[in-house]
Chains A and B, each alone.
Chain A
Amino acid sequence: MAKGRIRPAKLAEAIANHLETLILEGSLRPGDRLLAERDLAQKLDVSRPSLREALDLLQSRGLLEGRKGGTYVAPVLGEGFGATLVALLHGRPQSTYDYLEFRGFVEGAAAYFAALRASEVDRELIHKHFTAIEAAHGKLSPADEADADASFHLAVYEASHNLMMLHVMGSLADMLREDVFYNREKLYARKGVRDLLLEQHRAVHDAVMRGDPEAARAAAEAHVTFTRSALFEIDKADSDLETSLRRLVATEGDRDEGIKHAG
Chain B
Amino acid sequence: MPAKTSSRRQAEPVTPLHPPVPLAALLKSHPESAFDYLEFRLIVAGMAARMAAERATEEDRVHLTKAYEAMVAADPGIDPAQETDGDAEFHLTIYAATHNVVMEHIMRSIFALLRRDVFYERSRLYRREGVREVLMRQHKAIYEAIMNRNAEAARIAAEKHIQYTREALQESRVADERQGVAMRRAGRDSLAQVTDRDP
Contacts and interface: CB of A to CB of B under 8 A. Distances in A.
Contacts of A2: 180, 183
Given A2-B180, A88-B101, A92-B101, A164 B26 contact: no
A76 B23 contact: yes
Contacts, number: 104
Interface centre among A10, A98, A164 (most CB of B within 10 A): A164
Given A78-B23, A168-B106, A61 B12 contact: yes
Interface centre among B8, B12, B26, B27 (most CB of A within 10 A): B26
A151 to B, nearest CB: 22
B40 A88 contact: no
Interface residues of B, number: 37
A101 B100 contact: yes
Interface residues of A, number: 42
B164 interface: no
Contact of A24 (B4, B11, B26, B103): B26
B22 A75 contact: yes
B58 interface: no
B105 A84 contact: yes
Contact of B44 (A10, A17, A106, A167): A106
Contacts of A155: none
Interface in B44-60: 44, 47
Contacts of A99: 102
B175 interface: no
B33 A24 contact: yes
B62 interface: no
B129 interface: no
B18 to A, nearest CB: 8
Interface string A156-169: 00000011110110
What's the dominant secondary structure at chain B's contact region? helix
A61 B180 contact: no
B102 to A, nearest CB: 4
A122 interface: no
Nearest to A108: B43
A88 B105 contact: yes
Contacts of B26: 20, 23-24, 63, 76
A61 B22 contact: yes
Nearest to A91: B101
Given A85-B105, A95-B101, A98-B101, A162 B23 contact: no
Contacts of B121: none
A164 B39 CA distance: 9
A52 B26 CA distance: 20
Interface of B: 3-4, 7-8, 11-12, 18-23, 25-27, 29-30, 33, 36-37, 39-41, 43-44, 47, 100-103, 105-106, 109-110, 180, 183-184
Interface of A: 1-2, 4, 7, 10, 13, 17, 20-21, 23-24, 57, 60-63, 74-81, 84-85, 88, 92, 95, 98-99, 101-102, 105-106, 109, 162-165, 167-168
Given A162-B40, A163-B33, A168-B110, 12 more contacts: A13-B7, A24-B27, A78-B20, A80-B109, A84-B105, A85-B102, A98-B101, A102-B106, A105-B44, A164-B110, A165-B39, A168-B106
